[in-house]
Structure 1
Amino acid sequence: MNLPTTPDGRYFVVRGRLWRATNPALSDAVRGELVQQLMNARRAVKTALGSQDAHALAQARAEVNAAKISLGERGPVWWTDGVQDFNRHLVKNTPYAEWYQNLDGS
């Protein structure tokens, strides 16, 4: 799936909402390890939901969050120019609105 990515590479768009992209400064090896951790944590969430284990679910969700923070998708922003974070905002309510409106198929 090829999702639209903002011209500055900070976000991708899903159903009109901005989602912070992975920090491009991460090496391929580090990024790969973190993505593997994220996928393992997501599988643990699914397992915990299926077994209705509240403790395991909380732990698995914390692991998902930690992986996403390490990837730069949550937590402190990975860019250094002081620009505001618009993670999870509707594109139409951000400075990216005109860019998104001008995309083909939007």
Structure 2
Amino acid sequence: MAEPEHTPDGHFVVINGRRWRATDPEIPPEPAARLRSLLMAARRDVGAALRADDAEAERDARARVHLAKIALGERGTPWWEQTASERRHRWQSGLAALDTRAT
């Protein structure tokens, strides 16, 4: 798969003409891959909950999506406005929280 276009400052990716906040490039490869995996699992769980009309499962899955997006730096305080230690704490604590909530 081709790498998406980035804005010149690297803060956003451009997909179909729309800007989306880029993942924090300082997250080491292994934790970043785990976070993406947990994000995709949570997204699949949102779909399953919607198909099952299970509001509680949907809320939980959407909360996990949100946690993963924050940990990846795609939501919350922009990663380029955080110190290196704040960035590390963000993805480490997000990963820990997601690990405890994994289904």
Is TM > 0.5 for Structure 1 vs Structure 2? yes
Aligned position for 2:65 = 64
* Partner SS state of residue 79, structure 1: helix
For structure 2, the 5+ residue unaligned runs are 83-103
For structure 1, the 5+ residue unaligned runs are 82-106
* Partner SS state of residue 14, structure 2: strand
Q: Which amino acid aligns with 2:36?
A: V
Deviation by residue 1:53-85 (Cα, 9 ceiling, x = unmatched): 00100110010010000000001110038xxxx
Partners of 2:77 and 2:30 in 1: CA distance = 21
* Partner SS state of residue 19, structure 1: strand
Correspondence list, 1:22-101, <5 A: 22-80=23-81
Report runs of 4+ in structure 1 exceeding 3 Å deviation: none
The alpha carbon displacement at 1:15 in A equals 3.0
How many residues align? The count is: 81
The structure whose RCO (Cα within 8 Å, separation 6+) is larger is 1
Aligned position for 1:10 = 11
Q: TM-score, normalised by structure 2?
A: 0.73
Q: Which has the larger radius of gyration?
A: 1
Aligned CA RMSD, in angstroms, stands at 1.4
